[in-house]
Amino acid sequence: MAEFIMPSLGADMTAGILAKWRVAVGDTVSHGDIIAEVETDKGLIEVEVFESGVVERLLVEEGEKVPVGTALAEIGAESAAESPRKADASHRPRGALAPSPAHRAGSTGPAAAPGSIISAGSSDVDLDGPMASPAVRRRAHELDVPLEGVQGSGEHGRITLDDVQGVAQGGAAPAPSSDRIRISPYARRIATERGVDVSQIRGTGPGGAIQANDVLSARVPEPRKSVPAAERMQRAIAAAMTRANDEIPHYYVEHSIDMGRALAWLRETNASLSVSQRLVSGVLVLRAVAHALRKHKKLNATWQGGEAVPSAGIHVGLAVSLRGGGLVAPALRNTDEGSLSDLMARMTDLVARARAGVLRSSELTSSTITLTSLGERGVESVTPIIFPPQVAIVGCGATLERPWVVEGQVVPRPIMRVTLGADHRVSSGHQGARFLSTLDRLLQDPEKL
């Protein structure tokens, strides 16, 4: 039995809302099928499944907000004797949903594809219980062990069967849950109305029971202020980038590239194309970065489990600013393959869908390096921060006319400053400089891209 989990759709994501199921219990799903829609600050994301089989249970109801790493559904192996019904986008869940598992926020980890367990991030996510699998919950119920207060020994604090068994055999007693606290009905009603956590109150009644006066004298929590989505997203990005800046030993190298040949080739090529088919300089840089990574493979990797894991494909993430504020960096898969015209069409489509908030989970989790450009804003250079779990990022400034020495003469040339930010655990400044040199050479022969 495999668990379909809430994926991490970026280093700044801590939780998401299960907006819509596209499958029902009993549907057969295959690797890559879209089976759910998840709402995040980045928009509505279509989430693919990375296990094949039959949907056994839907564990989370539509509209529920859950942290990254939470099990959303259980997928069982397909039986050869069954006549399975293939999942279809029009199918909706039928029958009662299985009880939603309780959830708990943990620490944020690197972005991962759906199907792997990673922890959640922020402490301000409203969650209602410890993190444990359905099997653990069933065993805890059988042994009459309340999970609240059990110290999980599993990955990211997940409660295991051994933890439950240990408590049942006389281990550390769990903290009392609110329904076991001695409190009068009137005091409980006042606490509910005032939003007071009764587990934090010391009762003065007989046997330590909580009375109305105890609740009235307790501190009333201040109401949480509503924060606009764009501001929430900006805060989440800032927190993720702060962690990345603290945890990743960055080094930076910068290089100025003469874009004269590239721009001349673009003008000549676009002269014979319709307006809708014309190429932009950004697509040349995108392709050149991808081709340079073929030679400098150390930069095309992700940091996982304390080591760099090389990526088989080259999937350049393109940083896209959103109109309402915030940033996403979806991937253009296999950026080094196909024609420039095809890459241009894919890039245009990706940017449009990113700004419309219509992306797939694989586009937000598969980037192996990121390209960010502020050239359109006239910025001369940019010093970017690496998006975990990637190990490198490329930043481009505007292409500006500058004095340049050509064959002993000072002439005006269109120059673009490119900055590579890379992880010193994986590569060195010397290797980064060679990457930028390769990128320069590729842009001097644009017809080969």
pLDDT digits (tens, 9 = 90+) for 285-341: 999 999 999 999 999 999 999 999 999 999 999 999 887 777 889 999 999 999 999
CA pair distance 338, 346, nearest whole angstrom: 11
Answer whether residue 388 shows pLDDT above 70: yes
On whether the CB atoms of residues 69 and 1 are closer than 8 A, the answer is no
- Asked if residue 250 and residue 192 are part of one domain, the reply reads no
- The rounded mean pLDDT for the chain is 80
In a domain, 99, yes or no: yes
Mean pLDDT, rounded, for 344-361:
90
Mean pLDDT, rounded, for 377-405:
94
- Asked if residue 257 and residue 354 are part of one domain, the reply reads yes
In a domain, 53, yes or no: yes
Which residues form the domain of 115?
2-129
pLDDT at 115: 32
Rounded to the nearest 5 degrees, what angle is found at the Cα of 444, between the Cα atoms of 438 and 449?
Answer: 80
pLDDT per position as a tens digit, 49-62: 888 899 999 998 88
Question: What is the three-class DSSP state of 424?
Answer: coil
Mean pLDDT comparison of 33-37, 48-52, 232-236, 382-386, highest-scoring range: 382-386
CA pair distance 31, 53, nearest whole angstrom: 9
Q: Decide which of 186, 216, 246 is a domain's last residue.
A: 216
Task: Report the percentage of the chain scoring pLDDT > 90.
Answer: 43
What CATH number should be reported for the domain holding residue 187?
4.10.320.10
Amino acid in position 202:
R
Annotate 196-264 with DSSP letters as a single string.
--GGG----SGGG-B-HHHHHTSPPPPPPPP--HHHHHHHHHHHHHHHHHHHS-EEEEEEEEE-HHHHH
User: Is the pTM higher than 0.95?
Assistant: no
- Asked if residue 299 and residue 207 are part of one domain, the reply reads no
Q: Per-residue confidence at 358, pLDDT binned at 50, 70, 90?
A: confident
CA pair distance 350, 12, nearest whole angstrom: 20
- Asked if residue 96 and residue 9 are part of one domain, the reply reads yes
Q: What's the total number of domains in the chain?
A: 3
In a domain, 146, yes or no: no
Sequence-distant (≥ 6) Cβ neighbours of residue 128 within 8 angstroms: 102, 103
In a domain, 31, yes or no: yes
CA pair distance 448, 273, nearest whole angstrom: 18
Mean pLDDT, rounded, for 339-344:
96
In a domain, 166, yes or no: no
Between the two ends of the chain, the Cα-to-Cα distance in Å is: 46
On whether the CB atoms of residues 344 and 363 are closer than 8 A, the answer is no
The owner of tokens 């080739």 is: 265
- Asked if residue 296 and residue 186 are part of one domain, the reply reads no
What CATH number should be reported for the domain holding residue 83?
2.40.50.100
In a domain, 145, yes or no: no
Q: Per-residue confidence at 238, pLDDT binned at 50, 70, 90?
A: confident
Answer whether residue 370 shows pLDDT above 60: yes
pLDDT per position as a tens digit, 144-153: 777 766 766 6
In a domain, 223, yes or no: no
Question: What is the three-class DSSP state of 301?
Answer: strand
CA pair distance 114, 358, nearest whole angstrom: 18
